Amino acid sequence: MSYYFSTTIQGDFADAVQRTREALRNEGFGVISEIDIQKALRDKIGVEFRPYLILGACNPALAHEALLLEDKVGTMLPCNVVVQKIDSGIEVAAIDPVSSMQAIQNERLSDTAAGVAENLKRAIASLGGGDAALKQAAKDERQAEIERRAGESRHELDAIPPLGTDPLHEGP
């Protein structure tokens, strides 16, 4: 299992960053931190490096849910998204939260991480770049989520007693 998913797009670096921010926003993420690695390396140790930006993406509702399930999960937040110039264009890569959360033994947290991963995959896929595998993975994730929710609904419906069999709700 890879620890990230990515796509490569063409165009201007600043435009790619803006498109990435919009894609994240469309999936419910805000960018709460930004680290310009190129600038930091130039300023701190005097080396030149390619354009490389780390965006700290956070979906507040899902972060809150995760923190309620595991109070130390904050050590793994926010979800980092890298935008970097590479030879073939601009690569946008996001951490796979399912992979990173495997270190924590909490099934409910794994479910939350799967939801975050689905949103991040959709954001990355929406940028284009012709990465058919990423788009298919996002589609598969959506289908799996639909099936999971349908199973939960069936379970809830199965728990409802048939009409006339519940002694607390008999008759008029």
Tens of pLDDT, residue by residue over 120-165, are 999 999 998 765 445 555 555 666 567 667 767 777 777 777 777 7
pLDDT at res. 166: 65
Chain centroid offset of residue 106 CA: 18
Give the CATH H-level superfamily of domain 4-159: TT1751-like domain (3.30.310.70)
Please give the biggest Cα pair distance in the chain: 82
The structure's pTM equals 0.74
Tens of pLDDT, residue by residue over 74-114, are 999 999 999 999 999 999 999 999 998 888 888 889 889 99
The residue ranges of every structural domain in the chain are 4-159
Please state at what angle helix 60-69 crosses helix 107-126, rounded to 10 degrees.
160
For residue 47, what pLDDT band results from cuts at 50, 70 and 90? very high
The strand pairing partners of 30, in sequence order, are 58
**Alpha-carbon torsion 157, 159, 165, 170, what sign?**
negative
pLDDT at res. 146: 73
